[in-house]
Amino acid sequence: MSRLVRVELTRLLWRRAVLVLLALAVVLPLAVLGLRLYDTHTQSFDDLVAENGSYVLQDVEGCERHPGQYGVAGAENLTLACQQVIAGWYGNSPLDLVEEREAGGGVAAILLITMVLLLAGITFAGHDWNTGSMSNQLLFEPRRERVWLAKALAVGLLAAVVSLAVLVAFWTGLWAAASVRDLTIPEHALSAGYKQAVLGAGFATGSAVFGYALTMLLRSTVGTLGLLFGVGFFCVVIVAGVLGLGGGLERAMPWGNFYAYAVGTYEYYDYESCGFGADGSCGAETIGRGASVVYFSVIWLVVALPSLLSFRVRDVP
């Protein structure tokens, strides 16, 4: 089996389209890193005012009149504290590793590398079906389960190595920048970032194999991309937009579960279920990482098992 996996790895790395996608899997997350470092670079308040006009000064004056509303009540230097808060409103906030993990570049990097590696898995399987080379491959290894599993392992191994290396480099870059800028790094912030990198690599790897399995089932690159686009369009536009069911069905939507997996929890409000009591308040619903793992595992198995079983029994052109 190991020899077959090595052969599939070699075939995978010979695909120029896959090599381009692997390059994008490296470049895009590192581009996010560069953008986050640029957006959080040190900028004087005078420069901020020069770029954005008198609105910045008006916001600072409002903060000084009502410091409690801006979370700076009791600050020793109220003007400086207000300037820092308002600067963050205009995109000039200092690098914060906790913020990067929860709502910054960390989630974006995982999302980008996942999408690219998903396409790599689709491209790898789709090429075999589009060129008709699958039947030739089965002449050398007629046991179809071994062929399917070897291809899946090759895709998974390559995706795991690339995604883990890139995401670890991403968080190392954030830590290095924070250290060079002499910023306070909260306790466990870096270890939490590396944990997110490992989790993100696992998600990207599973997505790459998912793309491979779905394409092996549909036997068409275009069909796979069309199905994924159609499902995404239905969830985002039809269900959440036109039908107005986003709140009630948000637990079943991919984005909330993805965010819960990457960060740990995802909170949302189901406004349709709000009570009409005196306060009219709505309770927050929470999706945990465990629930998101179950969610994506079920989707993965629903595709992978029929894909393997179908490959065993269907005719290969």
Least confident of 68-72, 175-179, 208-212: 68-72
What whole-number distance in Å separates Cα of residue 285 and Cα of residue 87?
A: 32
For position 298, what pLDDT does the model report? 94
Q: Are residues 124 and 261 in the same domain?
A: yes
Which residues, 6 or more positions from 264, have their beta carbon under 8 angstroms from its beta carbon?
A: 288, 289
Return the pLDDT at 281: 56
- Based on the fold, state whether residues 79 and 188 are members of the same structural domain: no
> If you average pLDDT over residues 148-171, what whole number do you get?
94
Task: Quote the pLDDT of residue 244.
Answer: 52
Residues 122, 224 contacting (CB under 8 angstroms) = yes
Residue 288's beta-bridge partner residues?
Answer: 265
Q: What six digits make up the tokens of 208? A: 């790459």
Question: How many domains does the chain contain in total?
Answer: 2
Comparing 247 with 122, the larger pLDDT belongs to 122
pLDDT band, very low/low/confident/very high, at 317 (cuts 50, 70, 90): low
User: What's the CA gap between 186 and 177, in Å, rounded?
Assistant: 14
Q: Are residues 66 and 174 in the same domain?
A: no
Verify that 65 and 192 share a domain, yes or no.
no
pLDDT in tens, 211-249: 999 999 988 888 888 888 877 666 655 555 554 555 556
Give the position of tokens 């910054």: 104
Collapsed DSSP state (helix, strand, coil) of residue 242:
helix
Contact 232, 118 (CB under 8 A): no
Q: What is the pLDDT of residues 28-76, one digit of tens each?
A: 999 999 988 887 777 666 767 776 677 778 877 888 787 777 777 767 7
Lowest mean pLDDT among 77-91, 236-250, 291-305: 236-250
User: What is this structure's pTM?
Assistant: 0.81
Q: Is the pLDDT of residue 305 over 80?
A: yes
214 and 264, same domain (yes or no):
yes
* Mean pLDDT of the residues in the chain: 82
120, with CB counted inside 10 A (0-12, 13-18, 19+), is buried
Higher-confidence position of 164 and 267: 164
Mark whether 76 and 151 lie in a shared domain.
no
Whether 166 and 81 share a structural domain? no
pLDDT band at 27 (very low <50, low <70, confident <90, very high): very high
pLDDT at 274 over 90: no
Place of tokens 């046991």: 143
| 51 and 197 housed in the same domain | no
The per-residue pLDDT for 278 is 45
Q: Which residue has the tokens 């929890």?
A: 265
Q: Does pLDDT of 25 surpass 90?
A: yes
Q: Scan for tokens 């007629």, then name that residue.
A: 142
Q: 69 with 156, same domain?
A: no
SS3 state of residue 285:
strand
Q: Are residues 289 and 251 in the same domain?
A: yes
Same domain, 164 and 221: yes
Nearest alpha-carbon partner for 54 in 86, 79, 77, 30: 86
Are residues 293 and 167 part of one domain? Answer: yes
Is the model's pLDDT at 203 over the cut of 80?
yes
Question: Which residues form the domain of 16?
Answer: 2-39+95-313
Amino acid at 208: A
The per-residue pLDDT for 277 is 45
Are 201 and 156 in contact, with CB atoms under 8 Å apart?
no
Helix, strand, or coil (residue 276): coil
DSSP codes joined into one string, 93-125: ----HHHHHHHSHHHHHHHHHHHHHHHHHHHHH
Q: Which residue has the higher pLDDT, 281 or 206?
A: 206
